[in-house]
Amino acid sequence: MLSADFGKLKKEVELINHSQADWFHLDVMDGVFVPNITFGFQIIKVIKKYAQKPLDVHLMIVQPERYLEKFKEAGADILSIHYEASTHLHRSIHAIKDLGMQAGVVLNPHTHVSVLEDTISDLDLVLLMSVNPGFGGQKFVENTYHKITQLKELIIRKNARTLIEIDGGVTLDNAPKLVTAGADVLVAGNTVFSSDNPIHTIELLKESSSLYSA
């Protein structure tokens, strides 16, 4: 939703309601964990008011454990926190689940998937950053394909049911390749909202990947 026009937020939310997208993906940035600042509870509440699909909230903030309950109240259905921002990751994952949300962990491009060895079975979702978060217009990190393969191996080995989500630089070109590598969920912001026909672009993304897109 970060790529949406916030001057007509209700209309943008309704557009996604009527599209084939499965989730709303919301990027919350605090200006500390990442250089950029985006939006917080108020905007999430507005989106929740009109959204007819789950809100997938991606926290790019330090000490995310301080705000889990507030994000639940604002309307998050799926809440993902960064591995790099969480000192007590296991505790936070369970706190998210105890609040009735699905729990996700996000890995920056430099973080190896093996850090999830002891938590993967508890996770509904792992989000792999395919660009460095917080900067606009960055190049897709090609090593993402390799990380998807490694993560898929870990999930299978641990008999987990975790979904693999990819965030950053997803296009119509690389979407099929990401799904073939093992991705279950693709986040597409710019690709969708900067296109002339967002509904059709989402359709094309779904066709090319025949899985989830948000």
Give catalytic residues, as residue numbers.
27, 167
β-bridge partners, 140:
none
Cβ distance to Zn ion smaller for residue 58 or 206: 58
Total residues belonging to the chain? 214
What DSSP character marks residue 82? E
| Of residues 29 and 89, the one with the C-beta less far from Zn ion | 29
User: 155 vs 187, which CB is nearer to Zn ion?
Assistant: 187
Long-range Cβ contact pairs of 197-200 (< 8 A, separation 24 or more):
198/15, 198/19, 199/15, 199/18, 199/19
Closest listed residue to residue 129, CA positions, set 24, 13, 34: 34
Q: How far is the CB of 91 from Zn ion (least distance, A)?
A: 23
Q: How far is the CB of 166 from Zn ion (least distance, A)?
A: 10
Which residues 6+ apart lie within 8 Å of 74 measured at CB? 41, 44, 45, 48
Q: Report yes or no: 48 and 24 within 8 Å, Cβ to Cβ.
A: no
Binding site for Zn ion (CB under 5 A): 27, 58, 167
> Shortest approach of Zn ion to residue 158 CB, angstroms?
24
Cβ proximity to Zn ion, 3 vs 158, nearer residue: 3
Query: Shortest distance, CB of residue 185 to Zn ion, whole angstroms?
Result: 11
Q: Which is nearer to Zn ion, 43 or 158 (CB)?
A: 43
C-beta separation of 64 from 85 below 8 A: yes
Distances from the Cα of 104 to the Cα of 7, 19, 58, 96, 208, angstroms: 30, 24, 9, 9, 25
Residue nearest to Zn ion (CB): 58
Tokens of 95: 């706190």
